[in-house]
Structure 1
Amino acid sequence: MGEHPDCALIRRGYEAFIGGNMDTLAELMTTDVTHHVPGESSISGHHKGREACVQLYRRQYDVTGGTLRVELETLAADGRGHVISVHRCRAEREDRGLDMKEGMFFTIVGGKISDIDECHEDIDASNAFWH
């Protein structure tokens, strides 16, 4: 059995993100995509629209001096337009380090990512890192 098409879409998104290819990543999202980041940090909130999401991702790379690394561990689809991913996120920033599991809940509409809900293993640690 091959990979579910929704999982394949998300895998392509991870590959684009990991490779720093924001143009390809943007093509995989709807124009009105929203990425929800939990917590109370400088990156927390609801990033609405393709350009706002790409700006978020570029900012994450910029403030970490390019040290941000994401390692995809697993993908699971429900067959109704939702995919859950689990990955390990590592980064360094000034005198702080980040190393934790994160999860994403993706909604897919018309073969594109329309909504991303991000979950963190330790929201307080994430807040402290991204503050």
Structure 2
Amino acid sequence: MAKHPNVEVFENFHDCITRGDMGKLPELIAPDVVWHVPGDNLISGAYISRDDLFGCFNKIFELSDGSYQAQLLGILADDSYTVALLHAKARHGDKVLDQDYAFIMRIHGGQITELQEAWTEGTAWNEFWS
């Protein structure tokens, strides 16, 4: 069975992030993307443009001293939604992040247009980035 095209979009996105290839990301993220990061911490909020989101990515890299890693566990997709299951590891000062999370996305025309993050341990996630 062939992969749903939205699976390929997310796999390409994840591959770019993992390799640090920021040059290809604009092809995969809509200019007017809306990206929701939960919690009440240094990176939480709604990022409402690609440039705004790239600022968040840079902040994550800086705060984690480049240690942030996201392992892709699986992807489910149809024409309406794409859900990626991941596992994150990072360090922020003396704090350690090691937990599963999900991205719930809308993908149109080969670009991520909206994304909601869902973390399995919200309190620990919040404390990590505080």
TM-score class normalised by the smaller sequence: over 0.9
Q: Distance in 1 between matches of 2:42 and 2:11?
A: 27
1:66 aligns with 2:66: yes
Q: CA deviation at 1:58?
A: 1.4
The within-5 A match list for 1:110-129 is: 110-129=109-128
Task: Show the counterpart of 2:56.
Answer: 56
4+ runs of 1 displaced by more than 2 Å?
Answer: none
Task: Show the counterpart of 1:28.
Answer: 28
Task: Show the counterpart of 1:87.
Answer: 86
Task: Show the counterpart of 1:106.
Answer: 105
Q: TM-score scaled to structure 1, two decimals?
A: 0.95
Answer with 25-34 or 68-77: which moved more. Answer: 25-34
Q: CA deviation at 1:90?
A: 0.2
Q: Distance in 2 between matches of 1:66 and 1:6?
A: 28
Q: CA deviation at 1:16?
A: 0.7
Q: Is the 8 A contact 1:6 1:81 kept in 2?
A: no
Q: Is the 8 A contact 1:28 1:112 kept in 2?
A: yes
Give a deviation string over 1:47-67, Cα, whole Å, max 9, x none. 110011111111101111110
Q: Is the 8 A contact 1:74 1:87 kept in 2?
A: yes
- Helix, strand or coil at the partner of 1:23: coil
Gaps of 5+ in 2: none
- Percent sequence identity is 27
Q: Is the 8 A contact 1:89 1:98 kept in 2?
A: yes
Task: Show the counterpart of 1:38.
Answer: 38
Q: Distance in 2 between matches of 1:26 and 1:39?
A: 26
Q: CA deviation at 1:27?
A: 1.9
Q: Is the 8 A contact 1:26 1:54 kept in 2?
A: no
The one-letter code of the counterpart of 1:55 is G
Q: CA deviation at 1:128?
A: 0.4
Q: Distance in 2 between matches of 1:23 and 1:51?
A: 13
Residues matched between the structures, number: 130
The one-letter code of the counterpart of 2:128 is F
RMSD: 0.9
